[in-house]
């Protein structure tokens, strides 16, 4: 007897909305955290390439993780 094909499930609206809400929460949290920093540290955050370095590092990590993901089961 042949096994049924297993199709990977795509995320639905619920998952997309939860991820979007989490992203908004993280951004708002970072804004609040930055606003309570002392003025000297705020200048470091806003007047240095710190944000660019964080974004490049996060993007590189994400691309590395995606490229190292183990392959799924073979498709027939």
Summarised one tens digit per residue, pLDDT across range 22-51 is: 999 998 998 999 999 999 999 988 899 988
Domain count, the chain: 1
* 9 vs 41, more confident: 41
Structural contact between residues 7 and 71, judged by C-beta atoms closer than 8 angstroms: no
Residue 31, domain extent = 16-67
In a domain, 1, yes or no: no
In a domain, 9, yes or no: no
Where does the pLDDT of residue 11 fall: very low under 50, low under 70, confident under 90, or very high at 90 and above?
confident
In a domain, 29, yes or no: yes
Provide the percentage of residues in the chain whose pLDDT is more than 70. 82
In a domain, 3, yes or no: no
The answer to whether the pTM exceeds 0.75 is no
Return the closest-CA partner of residue 38 out of 28, 50, 46, 48: 46
In a domain, 44, yes or no: yes
Residue 72, SS3 per DSSP: coil
């Amino acid at each position: 007897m042949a096994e049924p094909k297993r199709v990977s499930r795509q995320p639905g609206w619920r998952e997309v909305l939860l991820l979007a809400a989490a992203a908004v929460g993280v951004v708002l949290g970072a804004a609040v955290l930055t606003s309570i920093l002392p003025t000297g540290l705020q200048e470091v955050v806003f007047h240095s390439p710190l944000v660019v370095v964080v974004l490049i590092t996060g993007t590189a990590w994400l691309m590395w993780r995606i490229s190292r993901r183990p392959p799924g089961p073979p498709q027939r």
